[in-house]
Amino acid sequence: MKALIDKLAREHILTRNELVMLIKNRNPDLDSYLFEQAVAVRRRIYGNDIYIRGLIEFTNYCKNDCLYCGIRRSNKGAARYRLTDEEILNCCKTGYEMGFRTFVLQGGDDAYYNDERICALIRTIKNRYPACALTLSIGEKSYSSCRAYFNAGADRYLLRHETADDIHYKKLHQDEMLLSARKQCLYNLKAIGFQVGCGFMVGSPFQTASHLAEDLLFIKDFEPEMVGIGPFIPHHDTPFAREPAGTLEMTLFMLALIRLLLPGVLLPSTTALGTIDPAGRELGILAGANVIMPNLSPPEVREKYLLYDNKSCQGEEAAEGLEDLKKSMDKIGCRIVVDRGDYIDGS
């Protein structure tokens, strides 16, 4: 197995069978070998720098019904909220003062926020904070909507593909949702000029090693600037309430493989990883991740943006916990930088 990791580190690609074999045979010994190489690649490209993004969860209304997600439209138990423009701008102000130079607007797929409102918001934020990058994570949109957001000044777009296998995708989403449409949106975003992020959940229901290999091959082929992955965690009011969560170990393994597949990729150590293990965020960095996205949403709405149970929004997950986060990064030989943190082509 180590020979496969050497090959991956050298060539940045493996075949489907090789990836499946690695995934099926992961073990602690292999983990440390892989993480060492992944961290070496991260250091070669990004040094000790860890980029931070201020995550603003501005609406939890959603027209979709993803079976895994706590803010799916059928969840009548979710307390819905929308932030006003003023509240969003206040988040940016707080974040800017703390040293954030990227804001991520994330939300459910909420029709209230039509193109006109989103574009107006983008213009105001970019106008007030010209030194900051603005990332959108607001679901699948038409080509013309994406173009309008880009023209208004948005820099980046996160849209996880969720799984690169059509049949698996169907099992995770309501009938109207199609993997082909999600992929088309990703291709459109790229063609328009966004820095684009895709990604998937590790350990989502029905996922197999060969699905994971397919995800990695899709990512390699698509060449995104960012990849967001995290363990699936059940939410009590969804059809997947009783499904087991993804594991810390497999998520770390995937992070490290992604770092070797796409050396320069911006790779967050996500909230979900910090939720399944108190040391998750640090361990993610030690497996090759180089981005952390603390929560900048107003504290009173944080508990309502509940994608999964026990979603962490305290301590180092919260923007207010930035000082603690800095310390814990210091301890592992990394440093949080005040920087837009754009993609560096590491090839």
Residues engaged in binding ligand SAH (CB under 6 A)? 68-69, 106, 108-109, 137-139, 159-160, 162, 201, 230, 232-233, 235, 272, 307-308
Please give the structure tokens belonging to residue 345: 């082509």
H-helix segments, the chain: 2-11, 16-24, 28-46, 85-98, 115-128, 143-152, 166-172, 179-192, 209-222, 248-261, 271-276, 280-285, 299-302, 322-331
Angle at 330 between CA 327 and CA 331, to 5 degrees: 90
Instruction: Give me the least distance between CB of 138 and ligand SAH, in Å please.
Output: 6
Instruction: Give me the least distance between CB of 340 and ligand SAH, in Å please.
Output: 22
Instruction: Give me the least distance between CB of 1 and ligand SAH, in Å please.
Output: 28
Angle at 141 between CA 139 and CA 142, to 5 degrees: 170
Q: Which is nearer to ligand SAH, 162 or 225 (CB)?
A: 162
Residue owning tokens 């009011």: 237
Instruction: Give me the least distance between CB of 65 and ligand SAH, in Å please.
Output: 12
Instruction: Give me the least distance between CB of 182 and ligand SAH, in Å please.
Output: 9
Q: Which is nearer to ligand SAH, 136 or 325 (CB)?
A: 136
Q: Which is nearer to ligand SAH, 162 or 282 (CB)?
A: 162
Instruction: Give me the least distance between CB of 309 and ligand SAH, in Å please.
Output: 8
Q: Do 255 and 38 touch, CB atoms closer than 8 A?
A: yes
Instruction: Give me the least distance between CB of 314 and ligand SAH, in Å please.
Output: 18
| Terminal Cα distance for the chain, rounded | 24
Instruction: Give me the least distance between CB of 111 and ligand SAH, in Å please.
Output: 12
Q: Which is nearer to ligand SAH, 244 or 333 (CB)?
A: 244
Q: Which is nearer to ligand SAH, 37 or 297 (CB)?
A: 297
Whole-number Å distance between alpha carbons of 183 and 68 = 19
Q: Which is nearer to ligand SAH, 139 or 153 (CB)?
A: 139
Contacts of 138 by beta carbon, 8 Å cutoff, 6+ apart: 105, 106, 107, 109, 110, 113, 118
Q: Which is nearer to ligand SAH, 68 or 103 (CB)?
A: 68
Whole-number Å distance between alpha carbons of 38 and 288 = 5
Burial 33-66 (b: 16+ CB within 10 A, else e): bbbebbbebbeebbeebbbbbbbbbbbbbbebbb
Whole-number Å distance between alpha carbons of 293 and 324 = 14
